[in-house]
Structures are given as structure tokens and as C-alpha cells.
């Protein structure tokens, strides 16, 4: 057995069930070996799309996934997706073929280790035929235990060599227990919660990865805390009467009011970035801030904290709840019947009154999104690209839980949303996948429309089409600056999708959504794209808020 075959089969044995990629000569054998070992391979049309599929699959499924790339240009084509995954701490294995040690003049040769490190990923490699399987297991273990994106470079000369010992040479990795918080930290957090009168919990991706929902709800019930999330954890507290939804720029006016009024704000696996706190403005002047995280470097990195607790989110929440129970502590905190009624009436953007700005030819994005929310099945998984439009699907589309929302915004790159939606769809085949894109991102990723059609995914792709890079239009337009570089002719994106095998419709008014209603009611044996020509007279509310913050 050659090393390439042994590496692929070893990864399949370790639990890699999905691998995405674009296959060339350098990654041909390792990809086939993964498939022979039981993994399913999904061919993308571009390496960046493949990487986003793998990233989203890992996020939504909770498993380690892999992306398989050719050496040199295959890796560089995937770099934006790798950067997003690395910044998001996605447990992802990037299997990158690499030029052999003696191929110093190869046109594919670049310093792939340096490339990986430069974008925040971990660089590993198969050093020799004898060490190759131990190297592979080490890379897998780092992805799992450290929640890191790991680029495993596979030199062609090592891949082609015979693997000494075959598959039996692969060690079995151990997975450490969840790190528990220090007892003194548990006690100190319990003291703060015991004294708080208006506590608010903000849960982030660390809470999602820790599967901490129930533990956080139980603790919040014990101390009367309200529940909110960062954008990436949207849906975590769906159905809870004390849930405020997303904090930050997407927050409803009521959520912003209550978060700012908190006397204690606890971030649970939440990095408390400027986006989550509206550049700090959602943190009241007298609010004490606590941050619970596995990564010591994250604690206090984005906002000063009164207390940092190093530990797994679920383990910490369980320990603090037990501490409060031992003290006999109960409190209503922020909670009252009147506030429960306000949250029910005002907690969601879609329930608030607004002036519909639709015209005869253009639809208000709020009207579009509220209409879609009402006609799509509740069991859905929503993936959102980046751009001026992205607050509408994030804030107006309801998701059933934290696995129903995939938000790849750590690098703020346009064009990642369609690949994200494919990975999310494959991770949750029981749900309707929805890809929310701007026209810029849709056209950047248009090659993956063929992937969606080829896989026969019952996906709804919604394009918020303002014929522009809207964020730049609304950023620079008010200053009277020329906008010809960020405006484009109207494009028939529905026709492009139809050419790839989609059902497609152009939407200019709410009645045009009847075509979507018919598609939802039908067999959904073909994906559907909605090219929504949206009103764009001003920036989205969240973007205007962000510009004020800058």
C-alpha cells in the first residue's frame, strides 16, 4: 500500500465521512482512498467553494470534515475559504498535495507551510513514509481537540512511497475530556450571578460546539437571566420565552435596550466582538462583563472583563448551576410577566411595523424576507453570504435551532455563501436548505450552481439583487463620491440559474413569490433560484449602524 492510500483510509477510519474538493493529479490517490474507506466525496467546481462546503458541513454536523486539493494552485484557489475556516476555529482537515522534495523547479512549488500559517491555519505534513500515518493522526487530533483548521501537506514523493506497516502503523488518537473550570472561578461567577438584578447571557459558537443549550437555559432560569446570542449562534435559544435573539447590529430595538440595561453580561463561548456589542455601545457604563471560554487568548481580547473563566461552556454552566443550587439561590432577575409579553410582541424584527418601500419594479427586502419566512417550512437550514443585504435573512428568517443557521462571516468575504449552503444541506438532508446571497456573491460563486443542480439538492437560492456592491454604494454615496466602479448593469441571474438546471423566477413584487410557494408544495426535484430585484435607496439598518460605529 502506498502512503497516499494509507493516509486516505486512515482518515476514513478516524471518522472523516465527507470530503469535498477538486481532484487533480496530486490529490487523486488520497481522495480515492478516502472513498474506498467509506467517506463520501463531493466534487465542487472551484476549490474555494469546496472549502466552504467542508467548513459548513463541519459546523452544522459537528464532525471533522476534509477538503482535498491539488498542490500549489489548488491550495491558493482555496485560501479565502481556508482563512474563513481558520478564523472561525472550524475543525477542518485540508488535504493539500505538495511538490516533492527534489522538485525545486516545479511550477507548482510554493511554501505551503508558510501559506497555511499566514492565514491562521495549522501547518502539518507527512514528513517521511515511515512517519506518514502518525503525522496524519496528529493532524486529525489537532483539528478535533484544538478546534483548528489544519493543512496537512502531502508531498508527492512521500505519497508515492510504500507505507511501512500499512494501516496497522496508524496510532489511535485519544480525545481529552472537556476542560472543567477552576472551583474558585465557579464560586466567583456564582457570586456575581447571585448579586445580579438584570443578568443577560450572550452565547457564541463555543456554546454551540459545547452543546450547552440546556445547561445555559437551566442556569438562566435559576438566576433570572435573559438569553441572547452572537450571530453565529443564532437559533440556540429558539422557542425560549426569554430569548432576545441576536445581539449586535442585527439586534431588535428591544433586545438592544435590554442588553444595554444589563448589570451583568456573561459571554459564553462568545468573543464579544465589536459586531456583537455594537462597538461596545451595547455594554452599559455600569455593566460588569464576564467571559467564559476555552481559549485564554480570547478572554478580554475584544472587551475588558471583570472576570474571565477558562473552561468548557457546558461544564462551566453545569458547575455554576450546582453552586447556586447548593446555596439555595433563586432569582427572577430581569424576568417579569410584563417583559415576557414585550419579548413576545417586539422580540422579532418581522413582527415590527415598517414602511414598505416597494415600488412597481422593486421589492423591499423586508417584504421579500417576511414573505419567504411565512411560506417556507419551519425545518430549514439558512446559509448567509456577506454584503449589505445579509441582515435581512439573518434577522427576519426564523431558524429552528443553532444547527439551522450557518454564518460564515469571520473573514467578511463576499462569495462564500453558496458553497456554505451546499455543505449545510448535506449535513442536514432532513431540512430545506436556503442560500441567501447578494448579486455580487452569487455571480462570484456561480460555478457552484452546477454543483447544486448535479447533486439534486432541494435548495432555495435567494439573491438580493441591487445590481451593485451595495455596502460600498451606501458607504461612499452619501459623500457624493463616484459610484461607477461599484454599480453594474442589471443581470438576469434567473436565466443563469435556469441554464444550470434550476427552476428560477424573477421577483419584483410580493405576488411573484407564488412561484416559490408552488415549488415548496411540489416535489422539489430541482433546486430553485429567486432573483429578487430589491429596493436599494439606502443602506440596510445594520450597515448604517456599523458606519456610525466607524
**What does the pLDDT look like over 58-70, one tens digit per residue?**
999 999 999 999 9
Give per-residue pLDDT as tens, 265-283: 999 999 999 999 999 999 9
Q: Report how many helices (DSSP H) and strands (DSSP E) the chain contains, helices first.
A: 24, 18
Contact between residue 313 and residue 230 where contact means Cβ atoms under 8 Å apart: no
Amino acid 505: pLDDT: 98
- Which of 165-174, 281-290, 520-529, 538-547 is the least confident region? 165-174
Mean pLDDT of the chain: 95
Give per-residue pLDDT as tens, 478-510: 999 999 999 999 999 999 999 999 999 999 999
* CA angle (298, 178, 153) in 5-degree steps: 70
Residue 549 has pLDDT above 90, yes or no: no
Q: Which CATH number fits domain 3-169: 3.40.50.1170, 3.20.20.480, 2.30.30.100, 3.40.50.970?
A: 3.40.50.970
**Cell, residue 66:** 476534509
Give per-residue pLDDT as tens, 148-184: 999 999 999 999 999 998 887 777 777 778 899 999 9
pLDDT more than 70, % of the chain:
99
Q: Residue 53: how many CB atoms within 10 A of its CB?
A: 31
Class of domain 349-549: alpha beta
**Cell, residue 511:** 405576488
- For the entire predicted model, the pTM comes to 0.96
Hey, do 3-169 and 183-346 end up sharing a CATH topology, with the first three levels equal?
Answer: yes
Amino acid 406: pLDDT: 97
Amino acid 541: pLDDT: 86
Q: Which fold has domain 183-346?
A: Rossmann fold (3.40.50)
310 Cβ contact list (under 8 Å, min separation 6): 179, 181, 182, 185, 293, 294, 296, 299
Three-state DSSP string of 157-216:
HHHHCECCCHHHHCCCCCCCCCCCCCHHHHHHHHHHHHHCCCEEEEECHHHHHCCCHHHH
Give per-residue pLDDT as tens, 126-136: 999 999 999 99
Measured in degrees and rounded to the nearest 5, phi and psi for residue 351 equal: -90, -5
- How many Å apart are CA 169 and CA 5, to the nearest integer? 13
Domains of the chain, residue spans: 3-169, 183-346, 349-549
Q: Residue 504, CB half-sphere, CA atoms under 13 Å: how many? A: 18
Residue 95 has pLDDT above 90, yes or no: yes
DSSP designation for 2: B
Q: Say how many residues make up the chain.
A: 550
Amino acid at each position: 500500500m502506498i502512503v497516499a492510500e494509507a493516509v486516505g483510509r486512515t482518515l476514513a477510519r478516524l471518522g472523516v465521512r465527507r470530503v469535498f474538493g477538486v481532484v487533480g493529479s496530486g490529490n487523486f490517490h488520497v481522495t480515492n482512498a478516502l472513498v474506498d474507506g467509506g467517506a463520501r466525496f463531493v466534487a465542487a467546481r472551484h476549490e474555494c467553494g469546496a472549502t466552504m462546503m467542508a467548513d459548513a458541513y463541519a459546523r452544522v454536523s459537528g464532525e471533522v470534515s476534509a477538503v482535498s486539493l491539488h498542490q500549489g494552485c489548488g491550495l491558493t484557489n482555496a485560501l479565502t475559504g481556508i482563512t474563513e475556516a481558520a478564523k472561525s476555529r472550524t475543525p477542518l482537515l485540508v488535504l493539500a498535495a505538495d511538490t516533492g522534495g527534489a522538485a525545486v523547479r516545479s511550477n507548482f512549488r510554493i511554501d505551503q507551510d508558510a501559506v497555511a500559517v499566514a492565514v491562521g491555519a495549522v501547518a502539518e505534513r507527512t514528513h517521511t513514509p515511515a512517519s506518514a500515518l502518525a503525522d496524519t493522526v496528529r493532524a486529525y487530533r489537532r483539528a478535533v481537540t484544538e478546534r483548528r483548521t489544519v493543512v496537512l501537506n502531502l508531498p508527492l514523493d512521500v505519497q508515492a512511497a510504500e507505507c511501512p506497516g500499512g494501516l496497522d502503523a496508524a496510532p489511535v488518537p485519544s480525545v481529552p475530556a472537556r476542560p472543567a473550570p477552576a472551583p474558585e472561578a465557579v464560586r466567583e461567577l456564582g457570586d456575581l450571578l447571585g448579586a445580579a438584578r438584570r443578568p443577560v447571557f450572550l452565547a457564541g459558537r463555543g456554546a454551540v460546539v459545547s452543546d450547552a443549550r440546556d445547561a445555559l437555559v437551566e442556569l438562566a432560569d435559576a438566576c433570572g437571566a435573559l438569553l441572547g446570542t452572537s450571530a453565529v449562534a443564532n437559533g440556540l435559544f429558539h422557542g425560549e420565552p426569554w430569548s432576545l435573539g441576536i445581539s449586535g447590529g442585527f439586534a431588535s430595538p428591544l433586545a438592544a435596550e435590554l442588553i444595554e440595561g444589563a448589570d451583568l453580561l456573561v459571554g459564553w463561548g462568545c468573543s464579544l466582538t465589536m459586531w456583537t456589542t455594537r462597538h461596545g455601545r451595547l455594554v452599559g457604563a455600569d455593566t460588569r462583563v464576564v467571559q467564559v471560554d476555552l481559549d485564554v487568548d480570547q478572554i478580554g481580547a475584544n472587551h475588558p472583563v471583570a472576570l474571565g473563566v477558562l473552561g468548557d461552556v457546558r461544564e462551566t454552566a453545569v458547575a455554576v448551576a450546582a453552586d447556586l443550587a447548593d446555596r439555595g439561590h433563586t432569582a427572577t432577575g430581569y424576568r417579569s410577566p410584563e417583559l415576557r409579553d414585550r419579548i413576545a410582541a417586539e422580540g422579532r424584527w418581522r413582527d415590527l411595523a415598517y414602511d414598505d418601500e416597494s415600488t412597481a419594479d422593486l421589492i423591499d427586502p423586508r417584504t421579500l424576507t417576511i414573505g419567504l419566512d411565512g411560506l417556507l417550512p419551519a425545518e430549514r437550514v439558512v446559509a448567509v453570504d456577506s454584503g449589505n443585504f445579509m441582515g435581512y435573512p439573518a434577522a427576519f428568517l426564523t431558524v429552528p435551532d443553532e444547527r439551522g443557521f450557518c454564518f460564515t462571516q469571520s473573514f467578511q468575504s463576499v462569495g462564500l455563501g453558496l458553497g456554505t449552503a451546499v455543505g449545510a444541506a448535506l449535513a442536514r438532508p432532513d431540512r430545506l436548505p436556503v442560500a441567501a446571497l447578494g448579486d455580487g456573491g452569487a455571480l462570484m460563486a456561480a460555478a457552484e450552481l452546477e454543483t447544486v443542480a448535479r447533486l439534486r439538492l432541494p435548495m432555495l437560492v435567494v439573491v438580493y439583487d441591487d445590481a451593485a456592491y451595495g455596502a460600498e454604494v451606501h458607504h461612499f454615496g452619501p459623500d457624493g463620491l463616484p459610484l461607477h466602479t461599484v454599480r453594474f448593469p442589471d443581470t438576469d441571474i434567473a436565466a443563469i440559474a435556469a441554464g444550470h438546471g434550476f427552476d428560477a423566477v424573477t421577483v419584483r413584487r410580493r405576488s411573484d413569490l407564488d412561484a416559490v410557494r408552488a415549488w415548496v408544495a411540489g416535489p422539489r426535484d430541482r433546486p430553485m433560484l429567486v432573483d429578487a430585484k430589491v429596493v436599494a435607496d439606502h443602506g440596510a439598518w445594520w450597515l448604517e449602524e456599523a458606519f456610525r460605529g466607524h
